[in-house]
Every structure is written in structure tokens, then in C-alpha cells.
Structure 1
């Protein structure tokens, strides 16, 4: 397993794990919790989170196109099959 970790300007964490058959991208959504919309367009993930009058939008590239998305306990997980 290979892991990369990134920290955004607002101290949000994004980690990418590589396995034999897939990549897993995990992001800590913090206070937004499970209140997010995620769109996958090609190899780009677009994450829009809204809390009250505050809206945050983030885009990042995925290592492939065959992606599934889930959220649990404030963690966004995107699994991309190789």
C-alpha cells in the first residue's frame, strides 16, 4: 500500500491510498460532516459543502474515472478502480 497526504489551506486533510486493484481518496470534512454534494466529472471530483450561509467548493483530480463515493462520520471516501 502506498499513501500520500495533503493539507489544504483550511487545515483539511486529504489522503490517497493505492492498493493493487484500487485507489482510495479520503478527506476529512470537519464541521460539514455528511452535508456535502460530490460530483465526479471524468477524473475530477467536485465537492460542495454548505453549512448555514457558508458554502465551500473544492475540486481535485482523481487517478481514474471508475469512482464510487461515500460519506461516514464526516469522512468522504472516494474509491477508484484501476
Structure 2
């Protein structure tokens, strides 16, 4: 397993785990699950978060296509196979 940690401009941490046959991205977004919408199109994740009346959108490239997405208490987990 390998582990990569990235920090964005707002210092939110994204961790990337690489396994022999899969990869996992984990980010603590600090947004309630019902205020978070994530779509995966090919190898791109599109994240839309609504905080109060403000909507923020971000997209980033994934290590591979066909990923599954879960959220739990504001933690976003995207998993895919190699």
C-alpha cells in the first residue's frame, strides 16, 4: 500500500491510498451529507457543496474510471479498481 496526502488552498486534506488492485481517495469536507453532491464522469469527480446559501463546485481527476462514491458525516470516500 502507498499513501499520498495532498492539501488544497484551503488546507483541506485529501488522502490517496494505492493498493495492488484498487485505489481510495478520502477527504474530510466538513459538509453535511445532505448538502453534498458528487458525480463521477469517466475519470473525473465533480463535487458540489451547498453551505448556507453559497454553492461551491470543484472537480478533479481520479486515478482511474468507474469509481464508487460514499459520504459519511462529511467524509467523502471514492474507491476504484486498477
TM-score (ref. length: structure 1)? 0.92
2:65 matched to which residue of 1? 65
Structure 1: segments with no counterpart, 5+ residues: none
2:79 counterpart SS class: strand
Structure 2: segments with no counterpart, 5+ residues: none
The alignment of Structure 1 onto Structure 2 pairs a total of residues equal to: 81
> What is the 5 A alignment of 1:2-81?
2-30=2-30, 32-34=31-33, 35-81=35-81
Using the TM superposition, give the Cα deviation of residue 44 of structure 1 relative to its aligned residue in structure 2, in angstroms: 0.5
TM-score (ref. length: structure 2)? 0.92
The superposition leaves residues 33-79 of structure 1 with CA deviations (integer Å, 9 ceiling, x where unpaired) of 31211111110001000011111111111011120000012110000
